Amino acid sequence: MSTETFLPDAGQDALPTTLFRFATAGSVDDGKSTLVGRLLHDSKAILADQLDAVARTSADRGFGGDGATDPSGKQRIDLALLTDGLRAEREQGITIDVAYRYFATGRRSFILADCPGHVQYTKNTVTGASTADAVVVLIDARKGVLEQTRRHLSVLQLLRVAHVIVAVNKIDLVDFSEDVFRAIEADVQQVGRELGLGRNELNTGGLADLFVIPVSALDGDNVVDRSDRTPWYDGPALLEVLETLPAADELESHLESFRFPVQLVVRPQGALAPDAVAAGLDAAAYRDYRAYAGQITEGSVKVGDTVSVLTPGQDPRTTTVAGIDFAGHSLQEATAPQSVAIRLSDEIDVARGDTIAAAGTIREASADLYAALCWLSPKPLREGAKVLVKHGTRTVRAMVRNVTGKLDLASFQLEPTSTLELNDIGHAQLRLAASLPLENYLHHRRTGAFLVIDPLDGNTLAAGLVKDHPGDHEDERYSI
């Protein structure tokens, strides 16, 4: 494992790096900002001028008291300062909003969504986890599994995050005690069992795995390098895990069928790009060019594949893929998450909001939507509310018929309610003004996701996860 800054050789490029997205979640004061700062610092993503600014501020504020040093004898700096972006955050010593960080090793480029834990933790965790391949949940070794840890883990289970890594932080403050760590580890595994985390052949919808790692963010133990102060722990350091876990699209690509929400129709009608014409594009050959632009959300597609075009309010139409174009190149095959333009063999009317899918793999579109909603707005949800639902590239009007329950994130039980408030997760039934090709989020992390939007001010009210209709078969384990 290399933690050197990626430095390409002149004349010879290393194997291209791949992208890995992860998020961090934690409670107040469990050292999350410090952990993030430590990861960035030890992976050499912090540049000299940034470090200078942090060292100056740390000294000004007397961080850690006079003469506070780390085990190697160097003056300690407040690594949390590396990630506090806004003035109010620095003044109040808190983190307000999800912040995105970037670092790379020789193998991977990382996008880190740093999600604050103190207020609106559900909103922030849901936001960060929605795009994450993995989430790192922090626990303070002195406090162990808290109610908020249970809440975090159940949100991650609900959002179907592929990998969960629990970092038991401040292990230095419990004298690197194996007993303390093992007790917390057992508690985490107990919560995992209650939630149905863990993947095996019978249970492909579960989380892929759950790691528990003892770390000290302040001193760097088991963050980038394995620590010799935890000899009883023979597992990998945090960055080692992040560098080697398969990304979500690697895990899913073989399981999922082709899905392609059409973003727009590329139909230049003679108005061709002058630079393309100058480069020799035959304008006559492109007079009737018509392709459907979008990003493949799931699976892959080949030229010649039979596909269904799903248009709201119409029966699915079947055709074949005549071509896959990308910026002047014709591809034989494309896979998620590539952005391409697809040409179809038959002249059928296709527009934004339609979905092109592998034939015979998608069920009938429906105007009845059963969903779990993560409520992200201070404006509560009431039965009868009129909202907008954005699913794929389509936005439709909808009415909330009823709210069927609210999840107690600590006990994992559904409780009766008729309203949802900020940070609540509940179940609701909606009636859509037009039918949509809805798919269960459990198996389709993209086409099973939607936004609930306030038609008045346009704000995002909720993250929605499509559930099967009641009565359809559903794995009881995932009933939350």
Partner 1 sequence: MSTFLTEEPTQVTDAPVSTRLSSLDTLESEAIHIIREVVAEFERPALLFSGGKDSVVMLHLATKAFWPGKVPFPVLHVDTGHNFPEVIDFRDRTVERLGLKLVVGSVQEFIDSGELAERADGTRNPLQTVPLLDAIQRNKFDAVFGGGRRDEDKARAKERILSLRDEFGQWDPRNQRPELWNLYNGRHTVGQHVRAFPISNWTELDVWRYIERENIELPGLYYAHEREVFARDGMWRAVGEVSQPRDNEAVTTKTVRYRTVGDMSCTGAVESAAATVRDVVIEVAASTITERGATRADDRISEAAMEDRKKDGYF
Q: At its nearest, how many Å lie between partner 1 and the CB of residue 234? A: 7
* Residue 471 is a binding residue for partner 1 (CB under 8 A): no
Show the beta-strand stretches assigned E in 141-230.
163-169, 209-214
Q: Which range in 135-143, 400-408, 430-438, 452-460 contacts partner 1 by CB under 8 A? A: 452-460
* Residue 198 engages partner 1 in binding (rule: CB under 8 A): yes
Which residues from 85-114 bind partner 1, rule CB under 8 A? 85-88, 90, 96-102, 104, 108-109, 111
Nearest C-alpha neighbor of 289 from the set 298, 281, 280:
281
* Residue 31 contacts residue 173 (beta carbons within 8 Å): no
What distances in angstroms separate CA 290 from CA 170, 203, 305, 346, one per listed residue?
Answer: 59, 42, 18, 11
Distance of closest approach, residue 108 Cβ to partner 1, in angstroms: 8
- How many residues bind partner 1, per CB under 8 A? 109
Residue 210 sits in the site that holds partner 1 (CB under 8 A): yes
Nearest to 419 by CA among 456, 452, 379, 390: 379
Task: For the segment 232-271, give every residue that binds partner 1 (CB under 8 A).
Answer: 234-236, 240-241, 244-247, 249-250, 253, 263-264, 266-268, 271
Binding to partner 1 (CB under 8 A) within 280-339 occurs at 281, 286, 289, 293-295, 297, 325-328, 335, 337-339
Phi, then psi, of 281 in degrees rounded to 5: -65, 130
For partner 1, give the closer residue by CB, 10 or 67.
10
Q: Interface with partner 1 includes 467 (CB under 8 A)?
A: no
Alpha helices in 61-105 (DSSP H): 87-92
Q: Interface residues for partner 1 in 5-64 (CB under 8 A)?
A: 5-8, 10, 15-19, 47-50, 53
Q: How far is the CB of 446 from partner 1 (least distance, A)?
A: 7
Q: Are strands 366-375 and 355-358 parallel, antiparallel or unpaired?
A: unpaired
Contact status: 187 vs partner 1 (CB under 8 A): no
Residues 385-444 binding partner 1 (CB under 8 A) are 388, 390-391, 393
Window of 139-147, 357-365, 404-412, 454-462 that interacts with partner 1 by CB under 8 A:
454-462
Chain centroid offset of residue 115 CA? 12
Element (H, E) at 186: helix 178-195
Identity of the residue, 393 or 418, whose beta carbon is nearer to partner 1 in the bound complex: 393
Is residue 361 involved in binding partner 1 (CB under 8 A)?
no
Q: What is the C-alpha to C-alpha distance for residues 74 and 438, in angstroms, rounded to an integer? A: 56
In the bound state with partner 1, the residue whose beta carbon lies nearer, of 263 and 361, is 263
d(CA 36, CA 55): 16
Nearer to partner 1, 130 or 417 (CB): 130
Taking the complex as a whole, how short is the minimal distance between the CB of residue 99 and partner 1, in angstroms? 4
- In the bound state with partner 1, the residue whose beta carbon lies nearer, of 458 and 471, is 458
Cα–Cα dist 257/253, whole Å:
8
d(CA 369, CA 380): 19
As to burial, measured by CB atoms within 10 angstroms (0-12 exposed, 13-18 middle, 19+ buried), residue 304 is exposed
The reply to whether 180 sits near partner 1 by the rule CB under 8 A is no
CA atoms of 70 and 90, how far apart (whole Å): 23
